[in-house]
Amino acid sequence: MGRWQPESRSRLEQAALALYGERGFEETTVAEIAARAGLTERTFFRYFSDKREVLFGGAGMLQQVLVDAAAVAPATAGPIEVVGCVLDAIGVLFEERRDFGRQRQAIIAASADLRERELIKLATLAAAMADALRRRGVADPVAGLTGEVAVAIFKIAFERWVADDNTQELSLLMREGLAELRAVTSGD
């Protein structure tokens, strides 16, 4: 998404996030989102199946980027090098999306339902990463473990990235997380 998404979709997204932040996710209606964006409900439903999809509609693309990056990583790359390639690709996807990420994180933190949905999204990503590694010939339990680890690094780096005072790029924070993890697991 970002600059290359249709302008009306972008306006709807901004209107939705502003309203979820002001009134709460549960209290906001699609009619209000459309009105705030100066568009019709019909236009809203052209881009989003419901108001939750404004927050989770990017999950499919995130998963696709992950799976593709794992597939095109060098044939000689071991599991952890594939994780590095995947995290770099995810970093590119989120470029210029920090404001969206910040608003979204605050909205999700305020709702138990949305927090659950976010956990499901992350579990689905970990499973997709494990499958991508299996397709590269990585056996279990390494494939499963590495899938979980990749998502853990993404999750922790994302939380740092959207923190108020952070100015570092997500890519850098993910690479740092990977390096920290390697340092921790090589220690006692």
Cβ pair 174, 151 in contact under 8 A: no
CB 87 within 8 Å of CB 154: yes
The DSSP code sequence of 67-114 is HHHHHHS-TT--HHHHHHHHHHHHHHHTTT-HHHHHHHHHHHHT-HHH
Q: Which stretch binds a second copy (CB under 8 A): 34-42, 46-54, 85-93, 153-161?
A: 153-161
Which member of 36, 142, 169, 175 binds a second copy (CB under 8 A)? 142
Prior bond of 141 cis (ω within 30°): yes
Which of 1, 18, 30, 80 lies at the binding interface for a second copy (CB under 8 A)? 80
- Piece of 16-24, 25-33, 74-82, 94-102 that binds a second copy (CB under 8 A): 74-82
**Burial group, residue 63, by CB count within 10 angstroms (0-12, 13-18, 19+):** middle
Provide the minimum distance between the beta carbon of 108 and a second copy in the complex, in angstroms, as a whole number: 13
Contact 83, 153 (CB under 8 A): yes
Told to check if 31 binds a second copy by CB under 8 A, we report no
Pick from 144, 158, 162, 171: which binds a second copy (CB under 8 A)?
Answer: 144
Check residue 129 for interaction with a second copy (CB under 8 A): no
Contacts with a second copy by CB under 8 A lie at 77-81, 116, 119-120, 123, 140-142, 144-146, 148-149, 152-153, 155-157, 159-160, 176-177, 180-182, 184-188
